[in-house]
Amino acid sequence: MTQGDHAPNAADLVLARDRLLGRGAGARSAGVSGHRLSQPALREALADLHEFWLTAHAAAAGVGGRGGGVALLAVGGLGRRELVPYADLDLVLVHDGRQPVDAIAERLWYPLWNAGIGLDHSVRTVGEALDVAAADLRVALGLLDARHMAGDAEVGVRLARAAREQWRTGARKRVGELVESVRKRWARSGEVAHWVEPDLKHGRGGLRDLGVLDALAAAQLVDRPGEDVEAARALLLDTRTELRRVAGRPRDVLRPQEGDEVAAALGVGDRFALVRALSGAGRSVAYAMDTALRAITASQPQRRVLGVLRRGPERRPLAEGVVLHAGEVVLARDADPGKDPGLLLRVAAAAVRTGHPIAPAALARLSDTAPEPRGPWPAEVRQDLVALLGAGEGLTDVVEAMDRTGLWARLFPEWGAVRDLPPRDAAHVWTVDRHLVRTAVNAARRVTAVSRPDLLLIGALLHDIGKGRDQDHSVVGAALATQVGARLGLPKPDVDTLAAMVRHHLLLPDTATRRDIEDPATVERVAETLDRDPVLLELLHALAEADSLATGPGVWTDWKAALVSDLVRRARAAMAGERLPAGVLFDQDKRALAESAAESGRPEVLVEGSGRPATVTIATADAPGVLSKAAGVLALNSLEVHAATMAGHRGAAVGVFTVTPRFGSMPDPALLREQFARAVAGTLPLAEKLAAKERDYGVAADDPPTPRVLWFDHEAGDPGVVVLELRCADRIGLLHGVAGALERCGVDVRWTRVATHGGSVVDSFGIPKGTGPGWRRAIENAVLRAVE
């Protein structure tokens, strides 16, 4: 279908929009005196532009004026005049049913579709629209923003007013449906607060929640949002506006690569400052939502049982001074927070244990009257803290409620430095404060594995408390843990253990995934670092798991768990004075494989295990380049290498690789053997094929870290071996390229370990010490060139 010559051109609308956004020809002329529009001004300008164009377009399409019986309404962002860049247009063509409107609808919608403008549209009578709204919650909420744009104003205004009245009178009956839809959306989209990459629109504490709050207020079920929520609305809207202007397309999830530019445009510093500000905004909105949902749920009519109205809720004791009333944890009538220093913790623990929220009135009273416990804490108050930390999954929401009211900082003044603090490590998905709480939740599941569950729970809560400063967070954190432990009233030996937990919380996972743990010297170094304390060792083992699980998906794998457990077993034996077994590289099958390769001159491959993880042994007649060629073949078959050990045996070069398939199952050993033989013979262009695989399947890292090469002289065990550690973004074939660079430098790699952290890796190589002043610099340059 084509428009008439007199109809507005949708391409002109797109061109004018792009000029407003500073894109395309003539963009500079769109701003005020050439200046970039502010975010509110840009939304206003976009709303004016689209409203002007749609008004003219509707007239040309046949949407008549007064008495014509047809009207065009805007809902969504245009209806609210909060139109962000590249937003879909939500339009309703409403009519009185007296005339056919199909032709009018086609003339309205097709030009917008052809111009690539997103469109959510409907054509209905007033009665049909109200019937759909009665059955579809999303439509009912959308019509609350309906605004007349063109045509018969009487028809348009009648629908808008009727939709609002229908919602106001029927909203109370739809509370259950509304709460269910909100919780499903939260489960899909996560949180704005505490998430490193927040979904500004759909996440918990985002713009969708603000729309729900507005709808509940329109139905007079809750009060209008307060000043803190309105300030959060402004920040969320401005951030979403600027994110889409920077990205040049629809985008609601703020990612690191856009963060700095968006932050600069908003005047809030860098992306870390922006995420921190958004976290605070999301917390304000989420708290308002929680309060509103509790209020409307509690206000539902009481049920009748056998025709008799059920009695009101009873008060059930939960702990001393704490009771459950109407589904909320409240203070007992005779409770006195000012004279009971443990009451705050008992209230919190009861809320976590029962899964019921703390009543806002109780939080307000505690905030007004509960004192900061003086150090050293009495033993019973400390026990209340341990009970809270070990209470389980509900700890997250309870700490959030306490933190918003200033009660958590009353217990832990050190918390301010990590509140809403974005992590610098890309593997983390939570802000630091939420990560600490999640670690404590995970640690609660491990308390039966340690002899000191109290120290495990407190250490889990504090292990990253030193972040947000310029110094090593483990060192700063250990000093802060000492301070906290003394305030809690822990005995001096326990304070020392707590500080050591924080200082060395990365020791076990880093050593297990980056060093050769079969080397007795490596194990001995771990035992000495921990002062040969088996209690500290078991605490760090449990903390390593809890910490990794709270970091992000895929950080704690079966492979990592097995490595850490093996290291702990060996370290425990070393602490007990037992003789450590030397690592055994070759069993009988591997030796036979090596001897066969040496005798026949043909490469051999042995695969053991199903792949979670599996061991691949590759042997060939002794020749240089085995590590790089084998790593390339494994990468070509989508196998992720975790560890490799290289050695010679009776004239054969042997590599033992621990691998996991990135997806699917292990490849056929015959295929690996054939490809490795071709790689050794030089007939398989590994670099070319890996580059093609990277182009087809690789995912470019967001804001990749700068590659770094570090050296460690005393961590390989063998005094003749040094550890080279490469830290960089991960990519397909990385180990192949780096191993090739080392081989071209004449370096004989003894072993390698690969630790993956989200989109980045730490590749560690045990290599013989070289000589000469420029030896290390030459190797560093070669490795960094391979990475680039």
- Structural contact between residues 119 and 91, judged by C-beta atoms closer than 8 angstroms: yes
This prediction's pTM: 0.80
Per the model's pLDDT, the better-predicted residue between 352 and 314 turns out to be: 352
Residue owning tokens 């979904």: 199
H or E stretch at 560: helix 558-575
Kindly report the number of other CB atoms within 10 A of residue 277's CB atom.
18
Q: How do residues 337-369 score in pLDDT, each as one tens digit?
A: 988 888 999 999 999 988 899 998 999 999 999
State the burial class of residue 263 (Cβ atoms within 10 Å of its Cβ: 0-12, 13-18, 19+). Answer: buried
- Over residues 617-621, the mean pLDDT reads 89
Q: Map residue 720 onto helix, strand or coil.
A: coil
Residue owning tokens 């007649």: 621
User: Minimum mean pLDDT among 270-279, 494-503, 687-696: which range?
Assistant: 687-696
Give the list of residues 6+ apart from residue 522 with CB closer than 8 angstroms, or none: 511, 515, 516, 715, 716, 717
* 522/570 Cα distance (integer angstroms): 10
User: Minimum mean pLDDT among 233-242, 302-311, 533-542: which range?
Assistant: 302-311
Asked if pLDDT for residue 147 goes beyond 60, the answer is yes
Q: What local confidence, expressed as pLDDT, does residue 490 receive?
A: 96
Name the pLDDT band for 730 (thresholds 50, 70, 90).
confident
Name the pLDDT band for 306 (thresholds 50, 70, 90).
very low
Asked if pLDDT for residue 2 goes beyond 60, the answer is no
Q: Which residues make up the CATH 3.30.70.260 domain(s) of the chain?
A: 594-787
CATH superfamily of 10-173: Beta Polymerase, domain 2 (3.30.460.10)
User: Minimum mean pLDDT among 179-188, 237-246, 512-521: which range?
Assistant: 512-521
- Over residues 37-54, the mean pLDDT reads 94
- Distance in angstroms between the alpha carbons of the first and the last residue of the chain: 52
Asked if pLDDT for residue 581 goes beyond 70, the answer is no
- Residue type at 611? G
State percent of the chain over pLDDT 70. Answer: 93
Q: What local confidence, expressed as pLDDT, does residue 32 receive?
A: 42
Strands 304-305 and 652-661, bridge-based pairing: unpaired
Per the model's pLDDT, the better-predicted residue between 62 and 75 turns out to be: 75
Tell me the longest C-alpha to C-alpha distance in the chain.
Answer: 98
- Over residues 49-78, the mean pLDDT reads 89
* 235/78 Cα distance (integer angstroms): 19
Per the model's pLDDT, the better-predicted residue between 306 and 743 turns out to be: 743
Q: Which residues make up the CATH 3.30.460.10 domain(s) of the chain?
A: 10-173
- Over residues 548-576, the mean pLDDT reads 91
Q: Give the strand order in the sheet containing 316-319.
A: 316-319, 322-325, 328-331
- Structural contact between residues 588 and 595, judged by C-beta atoms closer than 8 angstroms: no
What class has domain 594-787?
alpha beta
- Residue type at 223? D
Q: Map residue 442 onto helix, strand or coil.
A: helix
* 543/185 Cα distance (integer angstroms): 32
Measured CA distances, 306 to 173, 302, 303, 310 (Å):
22, 13, 10, 9
H or E stretch at 95: strand 89-95
- Structural contact between residues 142 and 37, judged by C-beta atoms closer than 8 angstroms: no
Q: What local confidence, expressed as pLDDT, does residue 758 receive?
A: 63
Q: What angle do CA 552, 556, 562 make, to 5 degrees?
A: 175
Q: What local confidence, expressed as pLDDT, does residue 3 receive?
A: 43
Name the pLDDT band for 300 (thresholds 50, 70, 90).
low
Give the list of residues 6+ apart from residue 289 with CB closer than 8 angstroms, or none: 182, 204, 205, 209, 212, 213
Q: What local confidence, expressed as pLDDT, does residue 700 receive?
A: 61
Q: How do residues 499-532 score in pLDDT, each as one tens digit?
A: 999 999 999 999 998 888 888 888 999 999 999 9
Name the pLDDT band for 582 (thresholds 50, 70, 90).
low
H or E stretch at 480: helix 473-488
Q: What local confidence, expressed as pLDDT, does residue 4 receive?
A: 44
Q: Map residue 657 onto helix, strand or coil.
A: strand
Q: What local confidence, expressed as pLDDT, does residue 770 receive?
A: 82
**DSSP single-letter state for residue 289:** H
From 421, 427, 423, select the one nearest 729 (Cα to Cα).
Answer: 427
Q: What local confidence, expressed as pLDDT, does residue 514 receive?
A: 87
Q: How do residues 86-122 score in pLDDT, each as one tens digit?
A: 999 999 999 998 888 899 999 999 888 888 888 899 9
Q: How do residues 661-681 score in pLDDT, each as one tens digit?
A: 888 788 899 999 999 999 988
- Over residues 472-491, the mean pLDDT reads 96
* 111/117 Cα distance (integer angstroms): 9
pLDDT, mean over the chain: 88
- Structural contact between residues 324 and 318, judged by C-beta atoms closer than 8 angstroms: yes
State percent of the chain over pLDDT 90. Answer: 55
* 191/64 Cα distance (integer angstroms): 45
* 91/333 Cα distance (integer angstroms): 55
Q: What local confidence, expressed as pLDDT, does residue 305 receive?
A: 43
Dig out the tokens for 435 from the structure: 């990560």
Q: What local confidence, expressed as pLDDT, does residue 157 receive?
A: 93
Q: How do residues 400-448 score in pLDDT, each as one tens digit?
A: 999 988 999 999 999 999 999 988 777 788 999 999 999 999 999 999 9
Name the pLDDT band for 294 (thresholds 50, 70, 90).
confident
Q: How do residues 6-38 score in pLDDT, each as one tens digit?
A: 557 888 888 899 899 887 655 444 444 456 889
- Over residues 147-172, the mean pLDDT reads 94
Q: What local confidence, expressed as pLDDT, does residue 597 receive?
A: 87
Q: Chain centroid to CA 765: how far?
A: 30
Continuous H helices in 21-145: 39-61, 76-80, 102-114, 126-135, 137-143
Q: DSSP string of 594-633? A: HHHHHHH-S-EEEEESSSTTEEEEEEEES-TTHHHHHHHH
